[in-house]
Structure 1
C-alpha cells in the first residue's frame, strides 16, 4: 500500500490523433479532478512521429495547462517506443497508459488507482471479467484476443482474463524493477512484455472491470496481420525466460541434498530394471511389447488420471476441514507437482513439494499441508491393507502376502500415532528443536489447529476414507488394462494383488519413480501365481508407461503454473533467481542474461 501522497501519471501515445486529442482531454481532465484519488495528476502526451496537426495540438495543450507535458518523438516510431518514452518522462507514483482514441473510459481510472491503493502492484483493466464490457469490438480482433489471452493464462497460470489490454495501472516500483531500458518491444507486443516481466519478477496484480469503446475518428493503429507474429514471439520468449527463472526458484526451495546421490539412485533403479530384463529375457519382453494395443494403454492412462481427480477431491476435503479452503485447480496442480518430483527423485520429497506449492501459491501453512498429507498416507495404507487381505482370500488364503498387509496396517497405525504424539507433546518438540528450526513453532501450532478441526468432523474423515477406495480401484485398474494391452487375461484379483503389493513396496523410496521396484514387485507377485516373468514384467512396464505419461505430462504443466504463481511469494519471502531481492537492480541482472 502507498503510504505517501501519490501522483498519477497518465501517458497518452498519439500518432496522427488530431481528431481525438481535444475531445479526450475534455472528458479525461474533469474525471481526474473529480476524484480525490486522482486529483494530483499529470498528462504526458507523446507525439509519435505524427504527420498531421497532432504535434501542434500537443504543444498547444501543454501551454494552456501546466499539468500537461508534451513529448515529441522523431526516431523509430511504434506504440511500444512511445509508451517507453512516456514512462521515462512520467513523474508519478502510479502510471497509467490511456489510448488517445477514447477507447478507454476515463471513469475507470479511479477504480484502477483504488486497486493499487489496496496494496497491489499492478491493476489490470479487464474488458472480459464480470462487470467489464466492449462496444464495437471487431469480431476478428475479439477472436484473436480471446485465443491469445487464454493461451497466456494457460502457459503462465495467470487467472486474469485481459492480460494484453494496455489500460493498466502500474506502481513506479514495477517499472523501476523491470528497467525501462530493458523493455524490448517497440510495438503493441509491449502489452505482453511488461505484465509478464512483472509477473516473473513476483509483483502482485489484480483485475478491475473496465469498459471499451470502438474508435469513432481516425484510423486504428493495431493491425492483426502486422502484430500477430510479434505477439507470438514475445510470448514464447517470456515463457522460456519465465521458466528458467521460476523453476529454478521453485525447485531450489524443495530439492535439497547431493545430486550425486540422486544420480546414483537413478542408476541403481535402471540397473535393477536391467537385471529383471536379463532374468526374464530381453527378446521375450520386446516381442510382447511389439503387440501392445494402444487403445488399452489409453484406457490405463484414463484410469490413472481419474485417481488424481479423486485425490484432489479428498485432499480438498481435508484442507477445508482443517480450516483452509483452496482452489481445486491449485490443489490438483500441487498434487501433480508432488508426484512429478516423486517420479524424478528417489525420495518422498514430492510430499514436501506439494505442501510448499500450496504455501507459495495459496499461503496455506506448511504444517497444515503436511499433516493432511500424513492423514492421507494413513488412509492409503489402511485401504491398501484391507483390499490386499480381501484379494488374498480370493486368490489363496495360505499365501505369505498376509505379512505385507500386516506391514501396511502397522505403517498406517504408526502414521496416526506420530500425529497424535506431535499433537500431545508439541511443547517438548519445540523446546528440543525450536532452536534449530525457527519456524517450527508456527508449523506445529497450525498442525494442532488443523488436527483439532479434523477430529471434530468425523463425517469429513469418513468421506475421505470412502474416497480412498475408488482411488485405489482406479490405480489397480491400470494394471488390469495394461495386461489387456498385451493380450493377457489377468484376473481382477491378481491385478489387485500385484498392484497393491507394488504400491506398498514403493512406500519406502529407493529409486526415482520406483524404477525396477515397480516392475520387480509386480512380476514377482504374478510369478507366485503361475504368470511367467516376461509377461509379468511386460504388464508392469505398460502400467509404468501409462503412469509416466500422466504424471510427467500434467506434472510438468503443473510445475510451470506453480512456478509462475509462486513468484509473489519468492519476491516477498525469498530470493529471485538466486539474487537477494535487495541487492541492486534484480531485473537488469536477469534480463541481461536472456537478451536474444
Structure 2
C-alpha cells in the first residue's frame, strides 16, 4: 500500500511539473541535445556499477575455503539485482537481500553481513554530504536559504562522522532514539544498534580496510556528481562544475525523502528549482529525466538476475514476520 501511495505522489508531482512546462519544448530539448555527451554520460552507469561492485568485494572478508569471498562478476550481478529489488520491493529490500547473500556466500553471521551493508550505505551518505558541503561552501550565490542548507548538510555530516567514528556517541544516539521512537520502530532500532556496534568492531579493527572503503566511496560519489554534470553538457546548459557539486547533491537528498517512488517527482522538482539560474524549466525537467535514468538503467540491467534474489528477498520478508 505504501508503494502505491508513493507512486501516486510521484505521478501527482510529475503531472504538476509537466502541466507548467510545454511538453513539446521538453522534447525539443532532447532533440537538440549533444548526442556524444549524452552517450558518454549515460554510459557512466557501467564504470559506476563496476566500482560499486569492487567496493562490495572489499567489504566482504574472504571465506575459509576461497581466496576471495565474492568474485567481481558475482558482485556486479548482486549490485544490479539489488537495484531491481529496490524498485519493486519496499524498505530497500534489495540491500537487505544483499546482506543475506553475503552471509550465505561468505559464511558470515547474519548480523555481520547486515553491518557491512549498513557501513556501505553510511559511507555513501557521508560521501554525498561531504561533496555537498564542499560545493555549497564554494557556491557563490548563497542567499539565506542556501546558507541554511549549508548549515543543515554540514550538521548532518558531522553527526554521521560521529556515529561512524565514536562508539560511545553511537550508543548514546541509539539509546535516545529508542526512548522516543514509536513502538513499531523500537525493534528495528535495536537491530540497527547491534549491527552498528558490530560494524565498529569490524572496521575499526582494520584501519586499512576502513580507509580503502571510505576513499572508494568518496571517489564513487565524485563520479556520480560528474555524471550529472555531463548530463548538463549533453543538454547544452552552461553549469559551472563547482556549482554542480553544490546543487546536484541537494537534488539527490530531496529524492531520498520518503514521499515518492524512487525519488521521482521530488528530485525532478528540486533540479528545476536549484538549477534555475543556469537553465530554463524545460531543460531542468530534461535533466530530471536523465538523472532518474541513473536509477532505472541499473535496475533494468539487474532484471536477468532478479529471479534468484527475488526468491531470497521473499524468504527474508517471511522470516521477519
Alignment match, 1:502: 251
1:183-198 correspondence to structure 2 within 5 Å: none
RMSD over aligned Cα atoms? 3.8
Alignment match, 1:128: none
Contact 2:62 2:70 in 1 (8 A): no
1:328, distance to aligned residue in structure 2 (A):
3.3
Alignment match, 1:318: 59
Q: Go from structure 1 to structure 2 and tell me whether the alpha carbon gap of 1:523 and 1:403 turns closer, same or farther (over 3 Å shift).
A: farther
Q: Go from structure 1 to structure 2 and tell me whether the alpha carbon gap of 1:518 and 1:548 turns closer, same or farther (over 3 Å shift).
A: same
Once residues 317 and 152 of structure 2 are traced to their aligned partners in structure 1, the CA distance between those partners, rounded to angstroms, is 43
Q: Go from structure 1 to structure 2 and tell me whether the alpha carbon gap of 1:546 and 1:413 turns closer, same or farther (over 3 Å shift).
A: closer
1:317, distance to aligned residue in structure 2 (A):
2.1
1:129-528 correspondence to structure 2 within 5 Å: 260-320=1-61, 325-345=69-89, 347-359=91-103, 363-396=107-140, 398-399=142-143, 400=146, 401-409=149-157, 412-413=160-161, 416=164, 420-421=170-171, 448-527=197-276
Q: Go from structure 1 to structure 2 and tell me whether the alpha carbon gap of 1:503 and 1:444 turns closer, same or farther (over 3 Å shift).
A: closer
For 2:33, what is the secondary structure of its paired residue? coil
Once residues 304 and 422 of structure 1 are traced to their aligned partners in structure 2, the CA distance between those partners, rounded to angstroms, is 39
Q: Go from structure 1 to structure 2 and tell me whether the alpha carbon gap of 1:263 and 1:415 turns closer, same or farther (over 3 Å shift).
A: farther
- Structure 1 unmatched ranges of 5 or more: 1-259, 576-596
Once residues 449 and 458 of structure 1 are traced to their aligned partners in structure 2, the CA distance between those partners, rounded to angstroms, is 15
Once residues 530 and 423 of structure 1 are traced to their aligned partners in structure 2, the CA distance between those partners, rounded to angstroms, is 40
Give yes or no for the alignment of 1:560 onto 2:307: yes
Once residues 534 and 514 of structure 1 are traced to their aligned partners in structure 2, the CA distance between those partners, rounded to angstroms, is 19
Higher strand fraction: Structure 1 or Structure 2? 1
Contact 2:237 2:278 in 1 (8 A): no
Q: Go from structure 1 to structure 2 and tell me whether the alpha carbon gap of 1:446 and 1:287 turns closer, same or farther (over 3 Å shift).
A: closer
Contact 2:260 2:266 in 1 (8 A): yes
Q: Go from structure 1 to structure 2 and tell me whether the alpha carbon gap of 1:274 and 1:345 turns closer, same or farther (over 3 Å shift).
A: farther
- Structure 2 unmatched ranges of 5 or more: none
Contact 2:84 2:302 in 1 (8 A): yes
Once residues 259 and 88 of structure 2 are traced to their aligned partners in structure 1, the CA distance between those partners, rounded to angstroms, is 12
1:519, distance to aligned residue in structure 2 (A):
1.0
1:467, distance to aligned residue in structure 2 (A):
0.7
Q: Go from structure 1 to structure 2 and tell me whether the alpha carbon gap of 1:447 and 1:543 turns closer, same or farther (over 3 Å shift).
A: closer
Once residues 547 and 287 of structure 1 are traced to their aligned partners in structure 2, the CA distance between those partners, rounded to angstroms, is 24
1:546, distance to aligned residue in structure 2 (A):
4.5
Once residues 334 and 451 of structure 1 are traced to their aligned partners in structure 2, the CA distance between those partners, rounded to angstroms, is 24
1:271, distance to aligned residue in structure 2 (A):
1.3
1:515, distance to aligned residue in structure 2 (A):
0.9
Once residues 153 and 53 of structure 2 are traced to their aligned partners in structure 1, the CA distance between those partners, rounded to angstroms, is 26
Count of equivalent residues:
300
Contact 1:316 1:325 in 2 (8 A): yes
1:553, distance to aligned residue in structure 2 (A):
2.3
Contact 1:454 1:461 in 2 (8 A): yes
For normalisation by structure 2, the TM-score amounts to 0.77
Q: Go from structure 1 to structure 2 and tell me whether the alpha carbon gap of 1:293 and 1:543 turns closer, same or farther (over 3 Å shift).
A: farther
Once residues 238 and 193 of structure 2 are traced to their aligned partners in structure 1, the CA distance between those partners, rounded to angstroms, is 50
Greater RCO between the two (CA within 8 Å, min separation 6)? 2
Deviation per residue, 1:174-225 (Å, 9 max, x gap):
xxxxxxxxxxxxxxxxxxxxxxxxxxxxxxxxxxxxxxxxxxxxxxxxxxxx
Q: Go from structure 1 to structure 2 and tell me whether the alpha carbon gap of 1:362 and 1:563 turns closer, same or farther (over 3 Å shift).
A: farther
Contact 2:81 2:303 in 1 (8 A): yes
Contact 1:269 1:515 in 2 (8 A): yes
1:361, distance to aligned residue in structure 2 (A):
5.2
For normalisation by structure 1, the TM-score amounts to 0.44
Once residues 424 and 541 of structure 1 are traced to their aligned partners in structure 2, the CA distance between those partners, rounded to angstroms, is 38
Once residues 540 and 411 of structure 1 are traced to their aligned partners in structure 2, the CA distance between those partners, rounded to angstroms, is 29
Alignment match, 1:545: 293
Deviation per residue, 1:13-56 (Å, 9 max, x gap):
xxxxxxxxxxxxxxxxxxxxxxxxxxxxxxxxxxxxxxxxxxxx
Once residues 486 and 298 of structure 1 are traced to their aligned partners in structure 2, the CA distance between those partners, rounded to angstroms, is 12
Once residues 547 and 289 of structure 1 are traced to their aligned partners in structure 2, the CA distance between those partners, rounded to angstroms, is 19
Once residues 132 and 73 of structure 2 are traced to their aligned partners in structure 1, the CA distance between those partners, rounded to angstroms, is 32
Alignment match, 1:536: 284
